[in-house]
Amino acid sequence: MTTLKTLSLKLTLFLSVCLIATSCSDDDDSKVYDLTNSNQNATNIVKEASRLEMPHLKNGCIVLVHSTTHKEGVNFIVEWDADKKAQRWTAYRIHKGQTGSAGYDGRFEEDPDLPTSYRVSDTYSYYKGSGFTRGHICASADRQYSKTANHQTFYYTNMQPQYYMFNAGNEDKYDSPWCRLESKVRNWGRSSGCDTLYVVKGGTIEEDMLLKNSRYPQGKIKGQLPIPKYFFVALLMKTKTTYQAIGFWLEHDNIDHSGDELSKYAMSIDNLEALTGIDFFCNLPDATENEVEKSYATIKWGL
């Protein structure tokens, strides 16, 4: 049985109180959490929100926590902008204990935990004939430990419009920087020196960071579904004795970049935060967060 939790984030303007409502698809009980005096930038609303992969939550957004009965528990977490009807990021963990061969599910579908009013009317119809693929954020290959976990990666809440050349690269070669970076992320997370790799991925959906062209002058499919101009990856690696972090910022275009070194796209988490407006890894102790986010070393990541 799959347990799916939905966290709805609302801003109470008059009382300056930020509330999060939680509910389960198989349990109608709900709870409301008062964040008036929440600690600095830490995300400490509920148990899942205190996980190290969780960025600071944005007021007015919905947080979807997807879990399975597998021992892994939480599969991935999505922050969803109900006004823009698009995802802001997907956060999850990778480690060498995630073994399995669930395969490629392939059944794209609406997220059963997202109310219809918060999404476009029929997401498949938006992608069909648009010139964009349904680009996974948490990759299917990242979730092979359970068939349910793999199926959940095909929810449209875990998708962003991507050119095929960006998403995969040259036909059947999977040589785009984005695709190669996804493979690197899996290898880093499952390497012998890594205890856990904390991952946050997404695309830009603010008005000034949409991909606009003659066909989509607003940067939106059918005037509604945002097309990110940039995609990003934020990584925090925990080893037995230390943390290290690195960010990646990739422009979304329809050009062959198969010859690019991944180091070209690397940057510090501080720089990535300045570009995205997202506070990554805010649940680390402040001193640790400040230290690991201010710089990066590509050599430590084998780049």
DSSP 211-245: ---SS-TTSEETTTEE-BSEEEEEEEEE-SS-EEE
Q: Tell me, yes or no, if 136 is annotated catalytic.
A: yes
List the structure tokens of 272: 């990535």
Pair of tokens at residue 285: 């102790």
Catalytic pick from 56, 66, 136, 252?
136
At 241, list the tokens: 């004795």
Span between the terminal Cα atoms of the chain, in Å: 41
C-alpha–C-alpha distance, residues 66 and 45, integer Å: 17
Q: Are 66 and 14 in contact (CB under 8 A)?
A: no
**167 has binding-site annotation:** yes
Q: How far is 236 from 243, CA to CA, in rounded Å?
A: 7
Binding residues: 167
Q: Give the residue numbers annotated as catalytic, written as ranges.
A: 136
Binding residues for Mg(2+): 167
